[in-house]
Amino acid sequence: MSDDPVPTVSREERYRALLGISNVLGVIRDPAELVGRLARELRQIATFDFMSLYLGDVPGRGPTWKVWRVDEQAIVAVPESIPLEETVEAWVAANRRVVAWPPPAGQPSFPRLEAVLERHGIRSYLAVPLLSAGRPVGALTFGSFRPLEYDEAETEFLSVVADQVALAIGGAASFERVRVAHERLERSSERLRLVLEVGSAVLANLDLEELLRAISANVRRVLRCDVASVILLDAERSRARLHVLDFPEGRGFVKEGAEIPVRRDAVEELLRSSRPRELAVDREGTPGSDVARAEGIRHGWTFPLVSRGRALGFFTVGRRDETRFDADEVDLLAQVAGQVATALDNALAYREIAGLKDQLAREKLYLEDEIRSEMSFDEIVGRSEALRRVLRQVETVAPTDSTVLIHGETGSGKELVARAIHDRSARAGRTFVKLDCAAIPSGLLESELFGHQKGAYTGAISDRVGRFELASGGTVFLDEIGEVPLELQPKLLRILQEREFERLGSSKTLRTDARLIAATNRDLEAMVEEGTFRADLFYRLNVFPIHVPPLRERPEDVPLLVRHFVQQLGRKTRKKVETIPSETMAALQRYDWPGNIRELQNLIERALILTTGPVLQVPLVGLKSRSGAPPAIPTRTLREAEREHVLAVLESTGWVLGGANGAAARLGLNRSTLQFRLKKLGLVRPDRGGAADRA
């Protein structure tokens, strides 16, 4: 049994390695050599202790079954007492179904297989059919001494492996057929090169557009076609698009990118049969026949593109002359279509992976350029240098267990900073307990902090766990620490220094491992001088002070906060705001915000309640700027205001005028009325090249 671990590789790396393996397999003809080479290559990207290849029909030899055992690095002989036609592998090939062990629900029983697996100690087993051009050619099986090796994701990957093996086997069969056809047809050498070129393109190219264009051009040239195209279906199979068109002498009646009319029932029937169909160009009413006749096409064939049971589209060819496609050409095109389907499936998977990779790269660059906002610091929103300093301090102190004292005005976000410290510490998985010391009567604050025993005071009818006991292993956040009474401060100092305390009414000493983060909007140093706050407690709290700047010191954060609250509170109030006037935003930035972020949040909530349209209406009356005067609102004409609003709606809809989500519907206008209004306002739609087309 081999215990060599399979290297951990990404999905993209596995598929790239598989394409490299497929390049090697494409030139191997002997089944024993094929399974041995395949097993050695696959050990780098898959887990198995046994691998076998069953072929239903080898030219000149009939059925064959070769088993590769990893620990012996050799072909294991199959007992002759087992007829190959009665093996599970033969059943998998004939029924085109996967067989797995442990068996999933609904899988037929195979007593002989179960006995063999038990005798050899195989605890995981997977048999996958090999299909070439939609026809079964055999089965590929994997066995492992480890349990539960082949989950859904691994089964999907090994099915792709089986497709590549079937592609190699189909290529070998195609090679033999084309070699024989060479003796009968003058152009067989060209057709052989076509198969090889298509196979090479399939194995070496993951760019979808380039791949399909190369295949279509080669097919059209070798088979003397006038047109070759690839049509892709959407997920619902109700619409199709001409993805690639190779038609050098086309008359312009059909263009690449055009939608192709399809009948769902005809598509379903064609895909279900997986067989090519001759185009009924001369039959009236056949979808696409009018366009084909207009282009002069007299004969053609359509080949379904199906990979691993998924319908992808169609591969079509056509001729303008009277020469029909003979049986050899149709068979050759069917093989090419099978390769195209596999390549298309791989390319689409690669495109999805590449898209995700690009998206991750863009997000990484964004996160590196942006400050630590809500994406990395929960709901802390902003990009000012003052806030950056705070967040850098948070990241510095978070991994430690040091006590933190957060200074800041009321409503400036001290609790969010405390939560950010907790979430980035080793205690993030434990409890974060908060207590507003100013909100608890002084007589009950000791009980809240340290707990009490039953009967400790009137109303204490049961034992109560205090905040420090509850947060052991986590974090305690005490807001407004300056409100803690002087007589309670020694107990708080003891819990910081000794990690010990007693519940109210109890003499039993308890211990806690809670980290303390305190916050205040008062000047504790001045309170120490006044004698209202203990100096030793202040020094113990002030290990790592963090000052949270008021909103007036970071006006550049106001627009971000406004948009954040509009989105957040818009869902709560069920209001959809599309535009925030620039003069309103400027006025909000000039305001002093004595209540800081909390005041801004309340103002935006009030604005959303008052807003009746897509433009945010902020009640600026009552706000005073730093100079003491109401924030100035720049004057503008009604035309300017209308033009700005209409332009904002157009940009939000991508300049789409009609439809349920178009600009006309959002503005409450008819499409024609909006078009007239655009001309009147002088609004034009920018095109890709920088010029302009009238909307």
Question: Six-digit token pair at 330?
Answer: 């149709």
User: Which is more confidently placed, 8 or 220?
Assistant: 220
Overall average pLDDT of the 416-431 stretch: 91
Name the nearest CA neighbour of 631 among 558, 549, 575, 550.
558
Q: Which of 369-383, 416-430, 640-654 ranks highest by mean pLDDT? A: 416-430
Contact present, 454 and 462 (Cβ < 8 Å): yes
Q: Are 136 and 94 in contact (CB under 8 A)?
A: yes
The model's pTM is 0.41
Instruction: Give CATH superfamily name and number for 11-173.
Output: GAF domain (3.30.450.40)
Task: State both tokens at 692.
Answer: 């302009």
Q: Which CATH number fits domain 550-634: 1.20.1560.10, 3.40.50.300, 3.80.30.20, 1.10.8.60?
A: 1.10.8.60
Q: What is the dihedral of CA 161, 166, 169, 173, to 10 degrees?
A: -160
Residue 546, pLDDT > 90, answer yes
Q: Which of 599, 431, 451, 433 is nearest to 518 (CA)?
A: 433
Q: What is the pLDDT of residue 290?
A: 74
Query: Which fold would CATH assign to domain 223-347?
Result: Beta-Lactamase (3.30.450)
Convert the pLDDT of each residue in 482-528 to its tens digit.
999 999 999 999 999 999 999 888 888 888 999 999 999 999 999 99
Amino acid symbol at 492: L
DSSP 108: P
Predicted confidence (pLDDT) at residue 236 exceeds the cutoff of 60: yes
H or E segment and range at residue 203? helix 188-204
Residue 534's pLDDT is what? Answer: 94
Mean pLDDT of the residues in the chain: 79
Predicted confidence (pLDDT) per residue in 237-293, tens digit? 667 788 778 888 887 777 887 877 677 776 777 667 778 888 777 666 555 667 777
Sign of CA dihedral 546, 552, 557, 563: positive
- Are the CB atoms for 219 and 201 separated by under 8 Å? no
Q: What angle do CA 238, 243, 248 make, to 5 degrees?
A: 135
The end-to-end CA distance of the chain, in Å, is 71
The pLDDT value given to residue 393: 94
Confidence tier at 690 by pLDDT (50, 70, 90)? very low
Residue whose entry in the numeric block shows the structure tokens 């302009």: 692
Task: Summarize the confidence of residues 25-37 as an average pLDDT.
Answer: 70
More confident site: 84 or 525: 525
Domains 11-173 and 223-347 are alike in CATH topology: yes
Question: CA-CA distance, 580 to 606, in Å (whole number)?
Answer: 15
Q: The tokens of 36 are what?
A: 């041995």
Please report which confidence band the pLDDT of residue 375 belongs to, taking 50, 70 and 90 as the band edges. very low
Stretch 69-77: mean pLDDT: 64
- For residue 87, pLDDT beyond 60: yes
pLDDT at 103 over 50: yes
- Contacting residues for 251 by C-beta, under 8 A, at least 6 apart: 294, 295, 296
Residue 532: the pLDDT is: 92
pLDDT in tens, 574-600: 888 888 888 888 889 889 899 899 999
Q: What pLDDT shows up at residue 43? A: 80
Strand 404-407 relative to strand 544-547, pairing: parallel
The number of C-alpha atoms within 13 Å of 452 and in the hemisphere containing its C-beta is: 17
> 15 or 80: whose pLDDT is higher?
15
pLDDT value at 695 more than 70: no
So what's the pLDDT on residue 422? 93
Residue 627: the pLDDT is 44
pLDDT of 365: 47
Burial of residue 612, with CB atoms counted within 10 A of its CB: 0-12 exposed, 13-18 middle, 19 or more buried: exposed
> Can you give the residue ranges of every domain in the chain?
11-173, 223-347, 385-549, 550-634, 636-695
Q: Which residue matches tokens 């900073």?
A: 417
CATH class of 385-549: alpha beta
Name the pLDDT band for 191 (thresholds 50, 70, 90).
Answer: low
136-189, pLDDT tens digit by residue? 888 889 989 988 888 888 888 888 888 888 877 776 656 555 554 445 545 555
**Residue 291: what pLDDT?**
76
At residue 426, the pLDDT reads 92
Q: What's the token pair of residue 66? A: 């070769």
Does the pLDDT value for residue 232 go beyond 90? no
Token reading at 154: 């691994």
Neighbours of 26 (CB within 10 A): 19
Count of all residues that appear for the chain in the document: 695
Is 15 in contact with 156 (CB distance < 8 Å)? no
CB-based contacts of 540-543 (< 8 A; 24+ apart in sequence): 540/403, 540/493, 540/496, 540/497, 541/403, 541/405, 541/481, 541/496, 541/516, 542/405, 543/402, 543/403, 543/404, 543/405
Which of 59-63, 478-482, 663-667 shows the lowest mean pLDDT across its residues? 59-63
Q: Could you give the CA distance from residue 592 to residue 571 in angstroms, rounded to a whole number?
A: 28
Q: CA 415 to CA 380: how far, in whole Å?
A: 10
* Strand-strand pairing, 432-436 and 475-479: parallel
pLDDT, residue 366, reads: 42
